[in-house]
Structure 1
Amino acid sequence: MDEAGNRTAVQEFILEGFPAVQHLGHVFFLVHLLAYLASIMGNTLIISITWTDQRLQTPMYFFLSSFSFLEGCLITTVIPKLLAIFLSGRQTISFTACFTQAFIFLFIGATIFFLMAVLSLDRYLAICKPLHYFSIMSPSTCFLLLAVCLALGFLLMVIPVIMLSQFSFCGPNVIPHFFCDFGPLTNLSCSDTRSIEILAFGLAFFILFTSLSITIIAYGNIVVTIVRLPSAKERQKAFSTCSSHLIVLFVMYGSCIFIYVKPKQKSRLASNREAALLNTVVTPLLNPIIYTLRNKQVHQALRDALSRVTLQK
């Protein structure tokens, strides 16, 4: 860090958003508002159905409801500010608010990846160790695993964000993104950022590839077990409980590896912006659809809930 490391001239940042389509701000405001509301409603529906239907009060649905809650928090961290940019052109964000947004986004994002690994382990135990599943995945174990995911996400993200906030920001202050992400903020610092870039790369690599390795090992064992099932109907049932999870994994890991697990490349910030839009808007919108459309138990729970509402009227 240079001698100005303890002095921050920049008091606020300007989020560039999507300047190429800013003249269509009202149209994009409506599109993103509808996507945001649909995502919040979809994830809220999954949480409500999971906690009110006795048949869905199992470890898998506990983790899915937790995942839906975190997805709702993630999109809420980013989209309201993007909507303000599209609607009113209000692109400024204070120094403190910017780093708070960056931390919350990274904390929730890291927690989600650890939770996806836990979901993979849950499916492994359910399919490969069915006789021991409920004794291993007790309510206390489920809460403990969720707490560990939250703790890891917090501890791994709080250090680099605090370190970066102590660096010197003396201008320019335009962030070529629609929210305060770690990479664009690092590029704006006047300090020597090599150490924080190495740390960020190492943490991103650890989070993504540790969780991905657990997932690959778990699903490798699942595939072997499914192939050995004697009945085609049993194989289809076992795979149907995992297919939606695999679709979500593919989208999330693909976009995040593209954004975070690579050396500093300023020329790719624009493409990062599109990939981040996929990860922060499209994925939280698709996840409830994927989980509900491909899950017969959720189908039945929704039908029963609608029937109860109809009878009450």
Structure 2
Amino acid sequence: MKMVGGNHTTVTEFILLGFTTNPKLQLILFVVFLIIYLASLAGNIALILLICSSSHLHTPMYFFIGNLSFLDLWYSSVYTPKILVNCISEDKSISFGGCASQFFFSGAFAYSECYLLAAMAYDRYVAIAKPLSYATAMSKKLCTVLVALSYLGGFINATVGTSKTFSLSFCDGNVIDDFFCDAPPLIMLAFDVTDNYQTMLYVLLTLNIIAPSAFILAFYIFILAAILRISSTGGKYKAFSTCASHLTAVTLYYGSILFIYSRPSSSYALEHDKWASTFYTVVFPMLNPLIYSLRNKDVKKAVKMLMTRRTDF
């Protein structure tokens, strides 16, 4: 904290309380989060390299999956290293600039992933409803534009949210009862939160969470209608299996985010929410490579081909 004008203080750093002050539990959490983080890095990097090196995975669907893994790779890195440090260090502080950077990049990657999941829903709709024109409809140019717009939308909205949040006056303390810099605990420290700021938060929630989720829901209704028109049971199962992984990822990701952020600020229970938020911030980036590979025949085939190629050498 820094004195300003003799009567007021301004925040120069924040204290992240994390999950617990129990040393033994902190050590256990350090090991758990380290394993999750290493698994997340290994899984996402492996999936990206596999998609890049396997020619038969150079399709629109895997182009999106590769970008999803790229986002998850960085998304988990926004939080986990700081969590690991806080678990083994007595110094729980994070600078004002460091907090703002964490806030910005977490929003940018999270919002980009929301838009990317929506683009993937459109891709699955075209693949199932218009299979004969799929290659033409989902051209390389269109896929590139959709991914670029996902990143652009995510970073623009994160810029707006970060600039507005860190323009607030944090003079009511600097202790954040959470493991990362997020809007709900930061709002509790600010004394000049206006209705305009609250409106901005709801606009961001609508643009980045509610609108993409509504978009995804609409296309899954179209997908379901297209599947029901398929005459054979085998054809229906095959069509549904092509979007099962995406549907699983969407349900887990949007479900956890909406649980945290769709409620009024008065109902926040930070002690419980910070445990729930570990799912989409830390655990989910590790699960995505598993969701898109464990039951995926194309990925298994690519792994076998890669292993065979290495054996031949």
TM-score (ref. length: structure 1): 0.94
CA contact (8 A) 1:240 1:294 kept: no
CA RMSD of aligned residues (A): 1.8
Between the aligned partners of 1:136 and 1:267, the Cα distance in structure 2 is 44
Aligned position for 2:93 = 92
Give a deviation string over 1:65-105, Cα, whole Å, max 9, x none. 00010011110000000000112233100001101100100
User: Structure 1: 5+ residue runs without aligned partners?
Assistant: none
Inter-CA distance 247–200: structure 2 relative to 1 (3 Å threshold): same
**1:143 and 2:141 correspond:** no
1:266 deviates by 6.2
Aligned length: 308
Aligned position for 2:13 = 12
1:197 deviates by 2.0
Between the aligned partners of 1:213 and 1:127, the Cα distance in structure 2 is 19
Paired-residue identity, %: 36
Inter-CA distance 235–166: structure 2 relative to 1 (3 Å threshold): same
Q: Aligned partner of 1:209: which letter?
A: I
| Farther-moved stretch of structure 1 (225-234 vs 270-279) | 225-234
Give a deviation string over 1:148-186, Cα, whole Å, max 9, x none. 111111222211210121111124101111011122112
Between the aligned partners of 1:23 and 1:108, the Cα distance in structure 2 is 32
Moved over 3 A (4+): 20-23
1:57-68 equivalences in 2 (<5 Å): 57-68=58-69
CA contact (8 A) 1:63 1:119 kept: yes
Between the aligned partners of 1:99 and 1:89, the Cα distance in structure 2 is 22
**1:172 and 2:173 correspond:** yes
Inter-CA distance 16–238: structure 2 relative to 1 (3 Å threshold): same
1:21 deviates by 4.7
CA contact (8 A) 1:8 1:167 kept: no
**1:182 and 2:183 correspond:** yes
1:213 deviates by 1.2
1:71-110 equivalences in 2 (<5 Å): 71-110=72-111
1:188 deviates by 0.9
SS at match of 1:131: helix
Between the aligned partners of 1:298 and 1:304, the Cα distance in structure 2 is 10
Between the aligned partners of 1:85 and 1:186, the Cα distance in structure 2 is 22
User: Structure 2: 5+ residue runs without aligned partners?
Assistant: none
1:9-48 equivalences in 2 (<5 Å): 9-19=10-20, 21-48=22-49
| Farther-moved stretch of structure 1 (63-72 vs 302-311) | 302-311
Between the aligned partners of 1:267 and 1:21, the Cα distance in structure 2 is 24
Between the aligned partners of 2:306 and 2:293, the Cα distance in structure 1 is 14
Give a deviation string over 1:39-71, Cα, whole Å, max 9, x none. 111111111111110100001100000001001
Between the aligned partners of 1:203 and 1:262, the Cα distance in structure 2 is 14
1:182-261 equivalences in 2 (<5 Å): 182-261=183-262
1:8 deviates by 6.4
1:133 deviates by 1.4
CA contact (8 A) 2:187 2:193 kept: no
SS at match of 2:203: helix
Q: Aligned partner of 1:10: which letter?
A: V
SS at match of 1:168: coil
